[in-house]
């Protein structure tokens, strides 16, 4: 496959590696130019994942860690399509998510936020896209949480996404936000994304995805490369 098939990234749609308002980016963002790889990008294939690697509940965060009941919080459905630069579906690609629980706490030893853990919620899931590039997760709406970046700093409700496309160049890690969240205007991570591309990070409420008497639905389409690429997480 010719390297030219892979379209260049639209760097104007992605946040800067160093964004002073997002304080930790100052110390971890690269300050030296990248070193070009000798190998052609198209020859660096990512691992191939198959349906046999997934468990039947990996996509259902409301059940995949249940011990003695259901997790607390508002059930939601998050679904969408994974697309390439031309708007075509990306089939059989691994989609992974992780998130805080309804109280705004992660199941991780470094998260010492004074909020309860939920014994029935792990906050992690994965699935493969189908032949139309579609994915679907059942989960709990994550809560906001303080993160110490500045005085009275709170992260908006969000879900982390990690995707493996067909090639190394289509690897994507990003965050999905919810419509109407007042914290978006105050969050330097979200605001660090160029203004014209921020809407690509916000999901859309969908009554068609919503299930009667069960959960509200949100749609979040993800574009892996090209001028409409979903912005990356820094």
| pLDDT tens digits, one per residue of 186-216 | 999 999 999 999 999 999 999 999 999 999 9
113 is catalytic: no
d(CA 47, CA 52): 14
- Structure token pair of residue 199: 């809407």
200 is catalytic: no
Catalytic residue chosen out of the listed positions 155, 200, 225, 234: 155
Catalytic residue chosen out of the listed positions 81, 105, 106, 200: 106
Q: Are 61 and 121 in contact (CB under 8 A)?
A: yes
Q: Are 172 and 161 in contact (CB under 8 A)?
A: yes
106 is catalytic: yes
**Three-class secondary structure of residue 13 per DSSP:** helix
Q: Are 97 and 124 in contact (CB under 8 A)?
A: yes
Q: Structural domain boundaries of the chain?
A: 3-29+38-223
| pLDDT tens digits, one per residue of 20-76 | 898 888 888 887 777 665 554 444 444 455 556 789 999 999 999 999 999 999 999
Q: Among 38-42, 67-71, 179-183, 230-234, name the one with the lowest average pLDDT.
A: 38-42
Catalytic residue chosen out of the listed positions 59, 105, 160, 234: 160
19 is catalytic: no
Q: Are 12 and 195 in contact (CB under 8 A)?
A: no
Instruction: Say yes or no to pLDDT of 220 above 70.
Output: yes
d(CA 158, CA 140): 11
Mention the CATH class of domain 3-29+38-223: mainly beta
150 is catalytic: no
């Amino acid at each position: 496959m010719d390297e030219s098939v892979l379209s260049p990234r639209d760097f104007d749609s992605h946040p800067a590696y160093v964004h002073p308002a997002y304080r930790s980016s100052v110390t971890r963002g690269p300050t030296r130019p990248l070193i070009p790889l000798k190998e052609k990008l198209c020859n660096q294939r990512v691992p191939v994942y198959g349906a046999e690697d997934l468990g039947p509940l990996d996509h259902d965060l409301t059940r995949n860690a249940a011990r003695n009941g259901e997790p607390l919080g508002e059930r939601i459905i998050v679904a969408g399509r994974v697309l390439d630069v031309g708007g075509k579906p990306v089939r059989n690609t691994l989609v992974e998510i992780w998130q805080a629980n309804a109280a705004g706490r992660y199941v991780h030893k470094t998260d010492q936020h004074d909020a309860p853990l939920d014994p029935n919620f792990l906050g992690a899931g994965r699935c493969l896209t189908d032949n139309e590039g579609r994915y679907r997760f059942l989960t709990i709406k994550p809560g906001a949480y303080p993160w110490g970046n500045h005085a009275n700093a709170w992260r908006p409700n969000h879900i982390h996404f990690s995707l493996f496309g067909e090639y190394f160049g289509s690897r994507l890690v990003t965050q999905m936000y919810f419509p109407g969240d007042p914290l978006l205007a105050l969050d330097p991570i979200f605001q660090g994304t160029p203004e014209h591309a921020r809407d690509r990070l916000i999901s859309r409420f969908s009554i068609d995805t919503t299930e009667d008497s069960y959960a509200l639905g949100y749609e979040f389409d993800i574009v892996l490369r090209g001028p409409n690429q979903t912005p990356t997480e820094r």
